[in-house]
Chain A
Amino acid sequence: MISPFRQFFQHLYARWLGHRLPPARQIKLNTRSLFIFPSKAGFSFLLLVVLCWLVATNYENNLVFGITCLLTAIFVVAILHSFANLSGLNISCSRVSPGHAGHPLTIELVLQQSGKRLRENLILAFAGHEPVAIDIAATEEARVKLGFVPASRGLIDPGRLCVESLYPLGLFRVWTQVDLNIRCLVYPSPQTVLNRRTTASSMDADEGLMVQILEGGEDFTGLSDYRPGDSPKRIAWKQFAREQGLYTKHYGSAQDERLWLDWDAFPGLDTEARLSRLCGLLLSIVPLDVPYGLKLPGLTIAPNTTDSHRLQVLRELALFGLSDRGGER
């Protein structure tokens, strides 16, 4: 029964937060963006103050009364110090290293301040991820790398970044949840296509292709009609599977070296599974320095070996079929 209520309030909170702290590339932490509230320890401290006050009153002891006043004053002054530890910081995201779904990628943040205040023990984290504690020493800029594990491919919003601090006394928690408008380019989770334990005779078409690439060590030159006696390893099963007839693949040197990452090579699988396999295949091919191209429904990228080509292919795999393409950023 509690859960729907909770959901409702969380929804309200998120909406309110969206109004108060709308997404921005850079956010300055100030009275608008920072929240402060006594921590559990803060409330315990108040209990301590009450206890001291009771002792002072019951023993009619002015010195204990003075100590009670001092503790109260410390509590109040701690508000300012807690707030000062985060206030005035500019937070922005400097770089997002792309990664694969289900695998951690790093988001690099820049924290800048105009003064040279020493800020201790700032804790940063994306919701549900391992927090990172940093100090900003007398430098005016600090960089911090945060881990984030995206659940799916695409242009992923890591959610609001939570920055919090208990410094200096732990009596107050100062925090903010900022949306830095981060979009992480997340490639499909790579699915290993190659299984080294399988033998040639039990190979699937795609695995066969891989093995040929990896074991032949030669360059694929073309296909010819199958003649009995040809090695079963060299049979172009792919073409056979497409009912195009039985062919034998030929390898030679310095002829046509192009490979195709082909959507159609994985019949019967759904979109995500195909993309995963294509991605895995790509990762296996890249170290071989062989030109490769991409064939997706409605899209063909000519074979190449350059780095930018690789990134473009990965990008297409990441964004295939998605409406949000991040304005081709």
Chain B
Amino acid sequence: MTSPVWKIHRNGLFWLLVAFAAVIVLHADHLPSWILLAASVATIWRIQLYRSAWRPPSRLIKTGLLGLCLAGLVVEYGSPVGLEPMVALLVSAYLLKLLEMHHRRDAYLVIFLAFFITALDALFDQSIGNTLYIIGCLSLVLAALLGLHSTDADGGQLRPLGKAMAIMAQALPLMLLLFIFMPRLGALWSVPMQQQSAKTGVTDTMSPGDFSRLGRSGELAFRVSFEGAIPAQQNLYWRGLVLAEFDGRTWSRSSLSPFQDSNLVQWYGEPPKSWDQLIERKGEPLTFSVVIEPTQQRWLYALDTPKPDSEGVGLTRDYRLISAYPLRSKKQYRVNSWPEHRLEPQGLPPQHRKVYLQLPEEFNPRTRELASRWRKTVSDDLELVSRVLTLYNSEFVYTLQPPLLGKHSVDEFLFDSQRGFCEHFAGSFVFFMRAAGIPARVVAGYQGGERHPDDYLVVRQYDAHAWAEIWLEGRGWVRVDPTAVVAPQRIEQDLQSVLGSETDFLADSPVSLVRFRHIGWLNQLRLQIDSLNYNWALWVLGYDQIQTAFLRNLLGDNSLWRIALALTGVGGSLLLLLGFWILLPRHRERSRDLLDREFLRLCQKLEKAGFPRQVGEGPRDYAQRVAESRPELARQLVEVTRMYEAMRYAGETPDARTLARTIRSLRINRSG
């Protein structure tokens, strides 16, 4: 029934463009800037099209624009696989389609694209603020859809938004119901991930300067809730990666097959692998659960020595935790950790020993020479370790702004600059140990964290840390943190207590509230916001895990048919209620109330004149009684009463205004 030449009307276009702007702004932080420019051009063009000031783009121009967008995407991203290119492609389609709305179905396409693009933003950011913004965007897009179908009446510009909000509000209970009851399936197939990894974060290689860069960022890494007290600050070593291979400059994960994650992983729920016996766990474990921000990587962080307590998490051969899938969004996992433990105290397998002693030949001759010299003078390994740590303690400076190092980075650091961040200390220490024949490895992760008053721990990027582990006969793997020797406050308190005055600290987070920790009320605010965000994350993320248990409690057992029954039962009654509310005319009630109000006004008027209404006296009797003593009012009183009764009880169309006017015209003088 649509006419062949369809033209969007003003209100419809208004909401379409508002929604368009909101969706573009929503994605602005991960869209190339030229798309934002193109979006503004498209908006202006669209408005000019509506005003018939400009002509619609010709086929040639459209093809050109499409080509330009595609070329821009290729230049920007290179590969089309990935979340950002996908979103950017959809956004380009969205803004090009905006210029090409010849039929109502084109407008539908634009709006449905807007819905989809809005939903995709939830993959990038799931904070409470962004969630609210997404909901706002959805309301605007819904208003745009409504605008297409409402009429273009003047004064009705805001009506679509109001109606959209009402529909959203009415949809909310049903949405919660679906959210609670709908079973979650695991990933059906692998999907493109975000290409740019998070701006900051621990990576699986360590070169000088990597960790000092993290010191510049106050971004959240993860939050931890302990069941029980939070351990002492100096024991919070969040182990994430083991870096065993050194190429002279960069430490990286071993490329040898026993150390690849795909091998030798003991997943949660699997029977223990043979190497599980090499771990001696003693005492009571610590239990904690971690909510980690998306890293696009698989490794997870935990205290020594961990055992996973969540589906999809595994323990690797070098005693780290990994996730079954890269962390594309926030993830929550539970861990049991035994702080008292011994790892492989009986001996290292020869091929492991070889890996943990590997060093490139042509680098750092001075360190090698010193190591072999000291080796000869000490009686056991521990003495050598303490001698090296003493060396660090005497001369070295801990700083976020270490000088650049040349080819023999360890030599230059140990003998010349003697200024460095944790990676310099950990790297040189492990190098020294290996040169002296002690198996050693670099461990990367986080150290410490901020205690939130609500009893959880917040670990930020500037808590990133690197330390060393050495293997000692009879004791197994032992953690040694050379940084703790140089800057003990770093371990006992946090980075800010050591480097807070350095200009580079938090340099990448200029407006981070962490910066203003010393201002009391601002700090309070910051902690409250964090608490809110954490609880939100727990609620949204934790649902997967608690859904099963919750449904079992609620329904007795969570078989599919029970879920379906509950869903249709509760959902059906919800809809029935909503249906009554929407479909039944309520306005009669309201107009009835208005009539009663007018009648009461009449009663007050008469009461003032000395004729109070008696209890249980009907309107007609009342009027008659008054009329007998005031015959001059009789005609008007009878008329008003008749009108009221007819409208109120006899089903005549209620018209409170006329009634009010008649009552107002009633002039009653006080009876003498």
Show the binding face of A for B, using Cβ within 8 Å: 40-41, 44-45, 48, 51-52, 54-55, 57-74, 76-78, 80-81, 83-84, 87-88, 113-117, 120-121, 123, 125, 131, 133, 135, 140, 164, 166-170
Task: Say whether B583 faces chain A, with CB atoms less than 8 Å apart.
Answer: yes
Shortest CB distance A121–B (Å): 6
- The answer to whether A67 touches B653, judged by C-beta atoms less than 8 angstroms apart, is no
Given contacts A61-B123, A69-B182, A74-B142, contact A80 B171 (CB under 8 A): no
Q: Which of B325, B543, B579, B587 contacts A117 (CB 8 A)?
A: B587
25 contacts between A and B (CB under 8 A): A52-B115, A55-B119, A57-B185, A58-B187, A58-B191, A59-B328, A60-B328, A61-B122, A62-B126, A63-B131, A63-B540, A67-B138, A68-B119, A69-B178, A72-B178, A73-B171, A73-B172, A80-B582, A81-B582, A120-B149, A120-B151, A123-B1, A164-B1, A168-B167, A169-B145
Bound complex: CA A63 to CA B187 (Å): 15
Contact with A along B176-205 (1 / 0, CB 8 A): 101100101111111100000000000000
B332-349 interface bits toward A, Cβ cutoff 8 Å, 1 = contact, 0 = none:
000000000000000000
What 0/1 readout, one digit per residue, does chain B (94-115) give for beta carbons within 8 Å of chain A? 0000000000110011001001
Smallest Cβ-Cβ distance to A62: which chain B residue: B540
Q: Which of B118, B585, B586 has most A Cβ within 10 Å?
A: B585
B167 touches A74 (CB 8 A): yes
Residues of B within 8 A of A71 (CB): 115, 119
| B119-A62 in contact (CB<8A) | no
A residues near B171, Cβ cutoff 8 Å? 70, 73-74, 76-77
- Interface magnitude class on chain B: 35 or more
Verify if B554 is at the interface (C-beta below 8 Å from A).
no
B131 adjacent to A84 (CB under 8 Å): no
Query: B541: nearest residue on chain A (CB-CB)?
Result: A62
Asked if A64 contacts B187 (CB within 8 A), the reply is no
Q: Is B575 close to A, CB under 8 A?
A: yes
Asked whether B134 is an interface residue with its Cβ less than 8 Å from the other chain, the reply is: yes
Q: How far is the CA of A184 from the CA of B184 in the complex (A)?
A: 61
B167 with A70: CB separation less than 8 A: no
Residues of B within 8 A of A123 (CB): 1
Residues of chain B having any CB pair with chain A under 8 Å: 1, 104-105, 108-109, 112, 115-116, 118-120, 122-123, 126, 131, 134, 138, 142, 145-146, 148-151, 153, 163, 167-168, 170-176, 178-179, 182, 184-191, 325, 328-329, 540-541, 543-544, 575, 578-579, 582-583, 585-588, 591, 653
Q: Which of A64, A66, A123 has its CB near the most chain B CB atoms (within 10 A)?
A: A66
A71 to B167, CA, bound (A): 11
A113 to B588 CA separation, bound complex (whole angstroms): 11
Q: Are B188 and A115 in contact (CB under 8 A)?
A: no
Assess whether A168 is in contact with B149, with CB atoms less than 8 Å apart. Answer: yes
Interface of chain A: mostly helix, strand, loop or mixed: helix
A159 to chain B, nearest CB (A): 16
Give 5 closest A-B pairs by Cβ, nearest first: A115-B585, A73-B171, A63-B122, A73-B174, A69-B178
* Contact A77/B174 with A63-B126, A69-B179 known, Cβ cut-off 8 Å: yes
List 13 additional contacts besides A52-B116, A80-B579, A120-B149; criterion CB under 8 Å: A55-B191, A59-B329, A60-B325, A67-B119, A69-B175, A73-B175, A73-B178, A80-B583, A123-B1, A140-B653, A168-B146, A169-B142, A169-B145
Distance in Å from the Cβ of A193 to the closest Cβ of chain B?
A: 38
Q: Which residues of the other chain, B, contact A69 by a CB distance below 8 angstroms?
A: 175-176, 178-179, 182
Query: Quick check: A125 and B188 within 8 Å, CB to CB?
Result: no
Bound complex: CA A120 to CA B148 (Å): 11
- Cα A169 to Cα B104 with chains together (Å): 12
What residues of B have a CB within 8 angstroms of the CB of A83 in the complex? 583
Q: When A51-B116, A169-B142, A170-B149 are in contact, do A70 and B585 touch as well, CB less than 8 Å?
A: no
**A168–B591 CA distance with the chains assembled, in angstroms:** 26
Q: Which residues of A contact B151 (CB under 8 A)?
A: 120-121, 133, 135
State the Cβ distance, A67 to closest chain B Cβ, in Å. Answer: 5
B187 touches A60 (CB 8 A): yes
Once the chains bind, are A62 and B328 in contact (CB under 8 Å)?
no
- State A81–B585 Cα separation when bound (angstroms): 13
Assess A169 versus B174: contact at CB under 8 Å? Given A59-B329, A164-B1. Answer: no
Contacts of B142 in A (CB 8 A): 74, 169
User: In chain B, what residue has the closest Cβ to A140?
Assistant: B653
Name the B residues within 8 Å of A52 (CB-CB).
Answer: 115-116, 119
Residues of B within 8 A of A166 (CB): 149
- Please report the C-alpha to C-alpha distance between residue A48 and residue B90 in the assembled complex, in whole angstroms: 14
In angstroms, Cα B168 to Cα A131, docked, is: 31
**B188, A70: Cβ atoms closer than 8 Å:** no
**Residue of B149, B170, B176, B191 ringed by the most chain A CB atoms within 10 A:** B149
> In the complex, what distance in Å separates the CA atom of A198 from the CA atom of B188?
85
Given A81-B167, A169-B149, do A70 and B123 touch, yes or no (CB 8 Å)? Answer: no
Cβ 8 A contact of B116, one of A48, A65, A115, A140 = A48
Residues A168 and B163 in contact, CB atoms below 8 Å apart: yes
Which residues from chain B contact A164 at a C-beta distance below 8 Å? 1
Contact indicator A115/B586 (Cβ below 8 Å): yes
Of the candidates A48, A65, A73, A88, which one forms a contact with B184 in the assembled complex, judged by CB atoms under 8 Å apart?
A65
Closest to B131 in A: A63
In whole angstroms, how far apart are the Cα atoms of A131 and B3 in the complex? 9
